[in-house]
Amino acid sequence: MIVFLLSSTLLTACNAPFNAERRYLSMIFTHAQSTLELIGALQQQLAQPQFGSQPWESQVNANIVALRIQINDARRLDPPNRFVPLHRSYLAIMDTLDSFANSLSLAMTNRDLVQIQQLLQQLNQIRQSLDPIFVQFRQQIEQFATEPARS
């Protein structure tokens, strides 16, 4: 529901001519949305660990790789000055996700069920920490929907 509302708000905001700030918001929103999808997939997978199941292990490992790509992509984004503090907050979450990905990779290698359960709890907390960032993204997007474009 939140993603749908943000998507429609983003589309409204983007009807105005694009500038660096709108471009950044569009990119970071898309990035955050795909990161949330990865987190959701991992939450489902880790909730029902299936060590010894090649499809499950392959899917989890593929999502670890995808998550690392997402993290690196976020680090490469160059936010406009207006969004530097918000981007730093987002990068702090990406740093936590990076640590999570490293721990998950090790837990998968060791087939450590207890660690997987602990990591699921950590992932749930990471997901919750993204909520305030999304509120701020939404507020910025809504603000763009009501103000004239800047060059």
Domain boundaries along the sequence of the chain: 2-146
**Kind and range of the H or E element at 104?**
helix 84-110
Residues 6+ apart with CB under 8 A from 134: 2, 6, 32
Provide the pLDDT for residue 6: 44
- 67-115 pLDDT, tens digit per residue, is 999 999 999 999 999 999 999 999 999 999 999 999 999 999 999 999 9
Query: 67-82 in b/e burial notation, b at 16+ Cβ within 10 A?
Result: beebbeebeeeebeee
Provide the pLDDT for residue 135: 80
